[in-house]
Amino acid sequence: MAVNELWQGFLEQNPDIYYQGMIPKGTPGFADYWRRQSGNVWNQYQGALGKQVLGGGVPNMMFGDFLNQYPFAKYWSELSPASRGINMGALSPGLLWRM
């Protein structure tokens, strides 16, 4: 997502606002799940910066660049149905015993 240069600094200084704005559209469950994951995604970003340093590089990745590459849909698809808010019991009929 292209960001106006004027606002890029604002977003980088306010990573929570940046993150919430970058959550892709999807089902309500998808959006709710990712809203609750901001801390986890931030920690992954911090880890990526650490890997840059430990690899002998300069920690120059911006949070926006990290979010632009973040595979929201891939991680969502790897979750169990229960983690995605799908009630599997609602999809199958109850067992009936007839005597």
pLDDT tens-digit map of 12-53: 999 999 999 999 998 889 999 999 999 999 999 999 999 999
In order of 7, 44, 47, the CA distances from 18 in angstroms are 10, 15, 18
Distance from chain centroid for Cα 70 = 7
Domain ranges of the chain: 28-81
Flag whether pLDDT at 1 surpasses 80. Answer: no
Query: What does the block give as tokens for 75?
Result: 């991680």
pLDDT tens-digit map of 71-89: 999 999 999 988 888 776 7
pTM of the model: 0.78
Contact status, residue 50 vs residue 43, Cβ threshold 8 Å: no
User: Distance between CA 86 and CA 66 in Å, rounded?
Assistant: 29
